């Protein structure tokens, strides 16, 4: 899988760090987590799936945070799963590269997994994005959240190998097909947006 190879190379060069999972700084990585974790609000106890967990940085954030939790991290890049298992030894956290092992949880999160399309045609990449959003919903009981690069980024900074999404399109998709309770966050200092999807109404199929 080209994307898995891309991230394995990043990890080999930069090690277990923000740059090793292709973020520019640890501060920006943590800012993304802050937006995603707004979905939890005052949650007292929950099971969490980190879909595209990298080296387990979100797990480390949860270990240091206020929430009682159980956590499963999933990633297609096996060297990152190995790094996560080495870095996070908390008994509440498990890691896997096998999608068939993923449980249904209270909340699913995905950070950065839609950004790097490499040379994939945009229509094919968008089909992958839709299928992955459907998987986040399928694995979630109470809600899910994800971030994406925004089409409102400065044009001179855009790269051909990255996917820049229309935030309105994905807001409408989640609101029309999953639940009325959707929040679009586009007010933090990164060229991206976050969608928080709180479940509670019957969904419609992504392909229906």
> What are the C-alpha distances in Å from 161 to residues 125, 137, 164?
11, 27, 10
Distance from the first to the final alpha carbon of the chain = 28
pTM score, two decimals? 0.91
pLDDT in tens, the chain (208 residues): 788 788 778 778 888 887 877 777 899 999 999 999 999 987 778 999 999 999 999 999 999 988 889 999 999 999 999 999 999 999 999 999 999 999 999 999 999 999 999 999 999 999 999 999 999 999 999 999 999 999 999 998 899 999 999 999 999 999 999 999 999 999 999 999 999 999 974 444 443 3
Which domains occur in the chain, in start order? 2-198 (3.40.50.150)
């Amino acid at each position: 899988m080209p994307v898995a190879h891309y991230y394995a190379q990043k990890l080999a060069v930069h090690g277990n760090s923000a740059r090793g999972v292709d973020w520019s700084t640890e501060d920006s990585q943590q800012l993304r987590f802050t937006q995603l974790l707004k979905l939890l609000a005052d949650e007292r106890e929950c099971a969490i799936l980190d879909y595209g967990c990298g080296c387990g940085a979100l797990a480390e954030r949860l270990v240091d945070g206020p929430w009682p939790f159980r956590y499963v991290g999933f990633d297609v890049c096996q060297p990152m799963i190995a790094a996560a298992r080495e870095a996070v030894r908390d008994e509440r956290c498990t890691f896997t590269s096998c999608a068939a092992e993923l449980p249904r949880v209270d909340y699913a999160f995905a950070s950065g997994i839609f950004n790097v399309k490499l040379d994939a045609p945009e229509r094919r990449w968008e089909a992958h994005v839709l299928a992955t959003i459907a998987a986040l919903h399928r694995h979630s009981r109470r809600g899910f959240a994800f971030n994406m690069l925004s089409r409102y980024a400065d044009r001179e900074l855009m790269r051909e190998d990255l996917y820049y999404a229309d935030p309105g399109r994905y807001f409408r998709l989640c609101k029309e097909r999953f639940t009325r309770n959707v929040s679009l966050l586009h007010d933090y200092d990164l060229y991206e947006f976050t969608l928080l999807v709180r479940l509670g109404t019957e969904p419609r199929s992504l392909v229906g």
